A and B are shown apart, each in its own frame.
Chain A
Amino acid sequence: MSTAIEISSVSKHYTLGRNSDTLRETLSGIFSPKKANTSLFKALDNVSFNVERGESVGIIGKNGAGKSTLLKILSRISQPTEGEVKIFGKVSSLLEVGTGFHPELTGRENIFLNGSILGMSRIEIKLKLDQIIEFSGIEQFLDTPVKRYSSGMYVRLAFAVAAHLDPEILIVDEVLSVGDAEFQQKCMGKMNEVASGGRTILFVSHNMDAVKRLCPKAVWLKQGTVNAEGKSDDLVRAYLDEFSTISKFTKAADRTDRQGSGDLQLQDVQLLTEEDNKIVSGKPLRIRLQIKSNIIDPAKCLVTVGIRDADRRRIGTLSTRFEQKLLTLKGHSNVYFDIPKLTLAPGKYYMNVFIAHRTENDISDWIEDAATFEVSSSSFHSQHDEHIYTSDIVKFDFKSSVS
């Protein structure tokens, strides 16, 4: 395989604080550049990695990790302070959809304008016009100025143009997080199509599911440097785990990253099992929530526990709402959820806790990743199933028969 993008020791520094404040100072600065006395912010610090031809690579990292800066450099919008990037092949970058759209122009006119901004030729746009219009699904508004469009229509049209770019290398920022769920599916499908068509893709997203689906490989940026590089499944998991390091060791009572009025507050979560601290699939599990009420009167409340897997996919929900009852809490109380037979496969899980006062809408306390637990083994069936289907999430109680 040959290289499509080669990034060698790229750094980007920004000067913080005041810019040279007089015209004279700046003019002389432009003609004889010298190091100014201001502090530097290293948005990217010695970043190197390669992207092979035909590969889809996801870039993950928190806000401020340097993802956007990197994309700006790769898109030739911003110049690196140090280092070099080599790009082999025709490249297009999509840092947003609908760049250059003019509100006074009609949909059709904007297709041509936006297309040429994206580097398409007029003939190319003409050839693809029907496909673009069909993809957008707004043919009846095509001759209306886009300022009359709803934001959904606007985004559909904008994405439709972008989706018909045909570069060898595509650099995409968080543009899939637009439109409704159905349209997002459509965009994702289109991206998959592009990826499987042998194109090279560099994809930045906060949507970890999208990264995993689209990109076998990933690069994890952290504070301007490459923190890790490798299979996206592993990287995404490690990334999400790191996110929750705070919560893992912080007792619910001390958590500050919570939402709600605070009328009722979760203090602690405990998982009680028959065997000490060992959570086993197929055995009973008791969840104990210690909740403190900060109101004088007895509070009638709803308590919900959401279980998620290591990738934060929802697995199941335990809620007093399902039992159609409100719990009456006063002062410090313990709320128990008893699961007679745990059906989760061995693995790591996270719990969200949601407490509402009287109605679902009156949120008192809401903590994401309030606790984490590990199901260590299974006693569901004979021991044979455990090592074969390791990526299963749920265990079923079943019997097979012949008739």
Chain B
Amino acid sequence: MSEKPLIISSKSSLFQFRDLKAYKELFWMLAWRDFKVRYAQTTVGILWAFIQPILTIAILHVVFGKFVKVDTGNTPHMVFTACGMMAWTYFSFVMTNAGSSIISAQSMVKKIYFPRIIIPLSKALVGLIDMAITATILAGLMIYNQVSVSSNIVYLPLFLALLMITSLSIGILFSALSIRFRDIQYLIPFVVQLGLYITPTAYPSSVALNSLPQWATIIYYLNPMAVIVEGFRWSILGLAPPSIYSLISFAMIAILFAFSLYFFKKIDSKIADLV
């Protein structure tokens, strides 16, 4: 009886921070479940996880490397693209899945309490598998093309962290917004589709920098993925370091992160009523 009672009122949020620890295992379970059921009842199973990035890289290579012939210096274009795709695959997976996660879990959300945020959070874990697969493809291409790993690799964790934060921020924001506006569900694939082109995945950002007026460059870097993709290539392949404009991207990441958490907290206690 010495313990503090649980208080449920209009003033206190339903979510309490101490629950995050108590529901740690559920976080792992949800991620494990997603992984388990992902390719259930498919014939080639986990092979799908390879087929998709391989085809995407191949097509981007044909279009940007062969047709457009963008200049990637000494680095083979395919390696260049695979490196960018490593970050992009993760981003698109986490944003798509986290963004729709609360709606997909609505039957659960209406029947039992647990910290809602762990639903989108768990997707960040599942996405690592896709990224690892793309990393394997990249490694294969690097070995084949005899490209060595840059010593900048020590900075990779930093960009990995930025990637996770960015993907989750947008995912969490979309998951919260979609509770109220189902429109978001239609917006997400659109963002993924357009994002791939406005992000320097298959071409170097210098191409964009050289052909855009300065004001447009600032807008270009409002896309937080621009600096992350460049950061990945800088740390893995030792290519051009992120430009000064990256500061805009960094600021954008910080704003997105703070805003998404703030917004999620705002709506958290109302999820079951609204969804």
Which residues from chain A sit less than 8 Å from chain B, CB to CB? 2, 6, 14, 19, 23, 26, 30, 72-89, 91, 93, 95-96, 99-100, 102, 104-105, 109, 112-113, 116-119, 121-122, 145
Contact = CB atoms under 8 A, between A and B. Distances in A.
Contacts of A86: 5-8
Nearest to A109: B36
B272 A85 contact: no
A76 B6 CA distance: 10
A112 B29 contact: yes
Contacts of B72: none
Contacts of A2: 1
14 contacts: A2-B1, A14-B273, A76-B6, A79-B9, A79-B270, A84-B7, A86-B6, A87-B6, A88-B6, A91-B6, A99-B111, A104-B37, A117-B112, A121-B25
A94 B36 CA distance: 26
B33 A105 contact: yes
Given A74-B8, A79-B14, A113-B33, A88 B1 contact: yes
A29 to B, nearest CB: 10
Interface size, B (range): 35 or more
Contact residues of B: prevailing secondary structure: mixed
Nearest to B269: A79
B22 interface: yes
Contacts of A14: 273
B29 A77 contact: no
B10 A81 contact: yes
A79 B8 contact: yes
Contacts of B180: 19, 26
B266 A116 contact: no
A112 B36 CA distance: 13
Nearest to A81: B10
Interface in B116-174: none
Contacts of A116: 25-26, 29
B29 A113 contact: yes
Given A109-B36, A116-B29, A122-B25, A87 B111 contact: no
Given A75-B112, A79-B269, A84 B37 contact: no
Contacts of B263: 30
Interface string B7-19: 1111000100000
Contacts of B109: 77
Contacts of B267: 30
B113 interface: yes
A37 B22 CA distance: 41
Contacts of A122: 25
Contacts of B37: 102, 104-105
Contacts of B23: 119
Given A76-B14, A105-B33, 11 more contacts: A19-B180, A72-B272, A77-B110, A77-B112, A79-B273, A84-B8, A85-B7, A88-B1, A88-B5, A113-B29, A145-B40
Nearest to B180: A26
A104 B41 contact: yes
B257 interface: no
In order of increasing CB-CB distance, the 4 nearest A-B pairs are A76-B113, A84-B9, A104-B40, A85-B8
B108 interface: yes
Nearest to B6: A87
Interface in B219-235: none
Interface string B235-275: 00000000000000000000000000001001101101100
Contacts of B269: 79
Contacts of A93: 112-113
B181 interface: yes
